[in-house]
Each structure stands twice: as structure tokens, then as C-alpha cells.
């Protein structure tokens, strides 16, 4: 697929099916992430791969973390949280190993990892897979980070859901880019 086509046609599937990218396909997708712009060549991105049963175990972690955050959360809410990682056959947790006192500002380290996330989305799409970028409270929860072997200083940039698109969202007209543009000084 041409690069511009991939950029202009990428959407997040509303539902995923098997197959997920296999190890070789995932290698290509994460290879694209390595080409993200990266101030200071810090390569802040890290990838934790969750396949198969690991998603069930991660669902337990998500539900436990929700229970700690919201002790009164009803069982059905906890159940929904537990099921979330099962929405796609493969999840890549993309974190950034933040160096707080580095001359490259933290926000730029986060942006580089975010650019890696976008490369993952577009590369997956170009290869015929679907990807969805999710965060929510678990991304900012230290107990989730700890369970994944991360430290509280690490930033979870996204839970990258990957698989074969099963249901795509309705087509959405995108605004004309000129809406967002102005010339300076006018």
C-alpha cells in the first residue's frame, strides 16, 4: 500500500478477529516503530507483547487495579474491565522509559514514543491488519505498571490492540485541513 493511502484510509476497527500478526509480522510492525522521529536518539519506546492467555491474566490485573481505584465498583463493571484485553487477539503495551533529568524534555520523549505508536497503527493497516490505540485509567495506574514490570516513572503511551479487522466504524467525513490552518503573519 502506498504511504499516503495507508495514512488516509487507516481507521480503528470496532471489533477484531483472529488472526493477529504473527511474530514475523509483528517484527515488521515494530520495525516501523523504530523509524519514529526521536530527539536525542533516546529510543524511549518499549514493547510488552500479550498474546493468548496473557490477555486473561492482564484482564485480572486491570480488574484488580480498578477495584483499588474504585473500591465501590460493582461486579459487572469489574467484569467488563476484566474482559477488555480480550477485545483483540494481540496487545502491545507501548511504554516510554522516561529519563527525567535528561536534557531532552520529558514531553519530547513521550512524543517520540507516541510517534512510534502511530507508526505501529499505520504499519499494521498497510499490512492488512487493524490497530486501535487505547489508554484510559489503567495507563496511568502504578499497580498496572508494576504488574507489567514497569516502574512508576515509565509512561504507558498506549495499549495497542492488534488483529484482523472484523467490524469497521462508519465512514467519517474528515474536516478540510484548511479549517486548522492560518498563515502568519496573516
Q: How far is the CB of 152 from ligand FMN (least distance, A)?
A: 19
Residues at the interface with ligand FMN (CB under 6 A): 11-12, 132-136, 158, 169
| Residue 51 grid cell | 498474546
Would you list the DSSP string of 11-34?
---SEEESPPP-HHHHHHHHHHHT
Q: How far is the CB of 149 from ligand FMN (least distance, A)?
A: 22
Closer by beta carbon to ligand FMN, 19 or else 169: 169
C-alpha angle with apex 13: 23 to 126, nearest 5 degrees? Answer: 50
Closer by beta carbon to ligand FMN, 135 or else 151: 135
Q: How far is the CB of 39 from ligand FMN (least distance, A)?
A: 19
Closer by beta carbon to ligand FMN, 1 or else 22: 1
Q: How far is the CB of 24 from ligand FMN (least distance, A)?
A: 25
Closer by beta carbon to ligand FMN, 27 or else 135: 135
Burial string for 106-137 (b: 16+ CB within 10 Å, else e) reads bebbebbbbbbbbbbbbbbbbbebbbbbbeee
- Cβ-in-10-Å burial (0-12, 13-18, 19+) of 91 comes to buried
Could you identify the residue written with the cell 469497521? 168
First to last CA, the chain: 38
Closer by beta carbon to ligand FMN, 140 or else 152: 140
Whether 61 and 111 have beta carbons less than 8 Å apart is answered as: no
Q: How far is the CB of 158 from ligand FMN (least distance, A)?
A: 6
Amino acid at each position: 500500500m502506498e504511504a499516503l493511502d495507508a495514512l488516509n484510509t487507516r481507521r480503528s476497527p470496532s471489533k477484531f478477529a483472529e488472526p493477529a500478526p504473527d511474530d514475523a509480522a509483528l517484527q515488521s510492525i515494530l520495525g516501523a516503530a523504530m523509524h519514529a522521529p526521536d530527539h536525542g536518539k533516546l529510543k524511549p519506546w518499549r514493547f510488552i507483547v500479550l498474546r493468548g492467555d496473557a490477555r486473561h491474566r492482564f484482564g485480572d490485573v486491570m480488574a484488580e487495579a480498578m477495584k483499588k481505584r474504585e473500591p465501590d465498583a460493582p461486579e459487572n463493571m469489574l467484569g467488563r474491565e476484566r474482559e477488555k484485553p480480550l477485545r483483540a487477539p494481540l496487545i502491545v503495551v507501548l511504554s516510554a522509559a522516561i529519563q527525567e533529568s535528561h536534557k531532552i524534555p520529558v514531553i519530547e520523549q513521550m512524543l517520540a514514543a507516541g510517534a512510534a505508536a502511530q507508526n505501529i497503527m499505520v504499519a499494521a493497516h498497510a499490512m492488512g491488519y487493524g490497530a486501535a490505540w487505547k489508554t484510559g485509567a489503567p495507563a496511568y495506574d502504578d499497580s498496572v505498571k508494576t504488574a507489567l514490570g514497569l516502574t512508576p516513572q515509565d509512561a504507558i503511551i498506549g495499549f495497542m490492540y492488534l488483529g484482523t479487522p472484523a467490524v469497521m466504524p462508519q465512514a467519517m467525513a474528515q474536516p478540510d485541513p484548511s479549517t486548522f490552518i492560518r498563515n502568519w503573519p496573516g
